[in-house]
Amino acid sequence: MFNLLGVRFLLSLQLAGLAIQTDAKDAGHRKPIILRESGGFTIGGKVIQSPLNPNMTLSCDHGYVEYFTPWTPRKTSLVMWHSSSTQTFQNRWDGGEGFKDMFLRADYPVYLWEGPRVGRANWACNATFYVPDYRDQANFVAWNFGPAFKQWWPGVQFPTESEEAWQQATSSRYVEYDSEASVNLETDAAAVAADSGKLGTDIVYLTNSAAGLRAQLTAVKSNTTNIKAIVCYESFGFVFPDDAGVKRGAGANPFGPILVPLEDFKKLARIPAIQFVWGDHRDESFIFLNQSRQAAALINKYGGNAEVVLLAKDKGLKGSTHIAFADMDNRKVGELLHEFLRENELDDYE
Ligand SMILES: *[C@@H]1O[C@H](CO)[C@@H](O)[C@H](O)[C@H]1NC(C)=O
Ligand SMILES: *[C@@H]1O[C@H](CO)[C@@H](O)[C@H](O)[C@H]1NC(C)=O
Ligand SMILES: *[C@@H]1O[C@H](CO)[C@@H](O)[C@H](O)[C@H]1NC(C)=O
Ligand SMILES: *[C@@H]1O[C@H](CO)[C@@H](O)[C@H](O)[C@H]1NC(C)=O
């Protein structure tokens, strides 16, 4: 009798798991996460010699990957590329379920990527730096929680009453190293990773902020067809062909535009699907939204499939922040991603 009950319990869990759990408010009713394996590795990078003794070397400037493989995986790997912290993909603002667990539950292999010098890949070939610069107040505005510090947008998808949630959001950051040199360093390693097969052969990049620029440049540097899609949540930075009349970004060029030869740019047009997704309260004159429309038009001009999606205007999701996949309505944002993956036939099982 006890065994029978046990079998029934398991069966009902499996049945519940047939549907993607988008509506389960009660964690107890969600499909469990069952992993075949998890782990991590470094990839890319170089070995440099000591100027004092060539027999002494340093292996450095590699990227770092942590991976999670579901028991019955789909073919598509979701490579999550944060801008300021892996944490944004791990939990919702209030500590609830993030995209990592949401998509593991839906049987997608998940890879958390950190480029050279960032996060757990901080074993650098160059001297690195961290200069404290009192940026909590600037984070608040940059992440579009409101127009000024602690002036929340009405209906913003953040638990505004929770000081703890705000504290978690603003402190779980890494140094980003925003410069074109650093973008090149990170994308050299990312392209090696993409082409290695170690992230699978059907890669979908999910990126936030400055990681969007990095994923676009990675696709330009990759020599395989492993990259099947790029979904950029609020990309700060775009890649353009050098003949389109777009000017390279000024100075160290932290957020683009980055210009590449037209033949290389056309690699973006060969990626089956690209989405530039924007949260709420972004006017068309916002420089990066404007650039996303220009970049999508150019990708499509060369035969590609890129679209700009405004979560509020086009999809009816109000109050999305700069990091929509960590927002309180991230299940709805996740459902839109499921739809995108289905439409582009990226939801098949192995
Ligand atoms: C480096 O190694 C080589 C071969 O073992 C040795 O002959 C040489 O003396 C070493 N150089 C230094 C600076 O230690
Ligand atoms: C590393 O240091 C060299 C020498 O100072 C510099 O030219 C290069 O731009 C640095 N690389 C990055 C990615 O910062
Ligand atoms: C792609 O091919 C070019 C030309 O052979 C090469 O320079 C580059 O390193 C390759 N990229 C990767 C990621 O291997
Ligand atoms: C977008 O940028 C282009 C080129 O800089 C400019 O001509 C256009 O007016 C901008 N569009 C909006 C809506 O600001």
Residue 111: inside a domain, yes or no? yes
Ligand nearest to the CA of 49: 1
Residue 349: inside a domain, yes or no? no
Task: For residue 175, give its domain range.
Answer: 36-343
Q: How far is the CA of 266 from the centre of ligand 3 (A)?
A: 16
Residue 125: inside a domain, yes or no? yes
Instruction: Work out which ligand 1 atom sits closest to the CA atom of 53.
Output: 13
In angstroms, the CA 223 to CA 211 distance is: 20
pLDDT tens readout for residues 190-247 = 999 999 999 999 999 999 999 999 999 999 999 999 999 999 999 999 999 999 999 9
Instruction: Work out which ligand 4 atom sits closest to the CA atom of 293.
Output: 1
The whole-chain average pLDDT of the chain stands at: 92
Mean pLDDT of 123-129: 95
pLDDT tens readout for residues 76-111 = 999 999 988 899 999 999 999 999 999 999 999 999
Q: For residue 57, which amino acid is it?
A: T
Residue 300: inside a domain, yes or no? yes
List the residue whose alpha carbon is closest to atom 3 of ligand 2.
126
Q: How many domains does the chain have?
A: 1
Residue 25: inside a domain, yes or no? no
**Least confident piece of the model among 10-24, 71-85, 171-185, 196-210:** 10-24
Is a pLDDT exceeding 90 seen at residue 69?
Answer: yes
CA 163 distance to own-chain centroid: 26
pLDDT for the residue 84? 80
Is a pLDDT exceeding 60 seen at residue 9?
Answer: no
- The residue to mutate among 58, 126, 129, 185, having the most atoms of ligand 2 within 8 angstroms of its beta carbon, is 126
Residue 103: inside a domain, yes or no? yes
Q: If we measure between CA atoms, which residue out of 70, 178, 161 comes closest to residue 118? A: 178
Q: How far is the CA of 221 from the centre of ligand 3 (A)?
A: 7
Task: Give yes or no for residue 225 CB within 6 A of ligand 4.
Answer: no
Which residues have a Cβ under 8 Å from the Cβ of 201 and sit 6 or more positions away? 224, 226
Name the pairing type of β-strands 57-60 and 63-70.
Answer: unpaired
Name the pairing type of β-strands 227-233 and 77-81.
Answer: unpaired
In angstroms, the CA 340 to CA 307 distance is: 11
Residue 131: inside a domain, yes or no? yes
Please report, for the domain that includes residue 259, its CATH number: 3.40.50.1820
Residue 84: inside a domain, yes or no? yes
